Every structure is written in structure tokens, then in C-alpha cells.
Amino acid sequence: MTGGSGDLWMVMTVFGVIVLGAVIAWGLRRNRKITPRQDRVAEERTRDVYDAENRDAKENRA
């Protein structure tokens, strides 16, 4: 490319892809630190929320 703006655009695009990849890798690494106990608690709380929603739906139908 003859203009400097085209080169700058290419550098910014490549740099953006590298930064995005680094952020995704960091997020995945950070979220894998869940302990088995935390996973069990999350599952129990989710089940409690679904049970409460089902109970409310049944009460509203009656």
C-alpha cells in the first residue's frame, strides 16, 4: 500500500485480534477456577430457582 493509513489500519486490526484473543484466554482461564463445592452450590441454587418458578406457575393457574 502506498498510503500510511492503510498500514496503520492493518496494524490496528492485527493488534485488535491479538488483544481480543488474550482477553478470551484470560476469561476462560479465570472461569475454570470453580471448585467442585461451588459447582454443587450453583446447581442447587439453580434447581431452587426453577422449583420456585414452577410452584408460582402452578399457583397462578389455579
Instruction: Calculate ∠ Cα 41-38-33, nearest 5°.
Output: 160
Question: DSSP secondary-structure letter at 28?
Answer: H
What are the sequence ranges of the domains in the chain?
A: 37-62
pLDDT score at 15: 97
The candidate with the shortest Cα–Cα distance to 31, out of 19, 39, 21, is 39
Going from the first residue of the chain to its last (62 residues), give the mean pLDDT of each consecutive group of 10, the final group possibly shorter: 74 96 93 87 96 88 74
Amino acid identity, residue 20? L
Question: DSSP secondary-structure letter at 8?
Answer: H
pLDDT score at 44: 97
pLDDT score at 22: 98
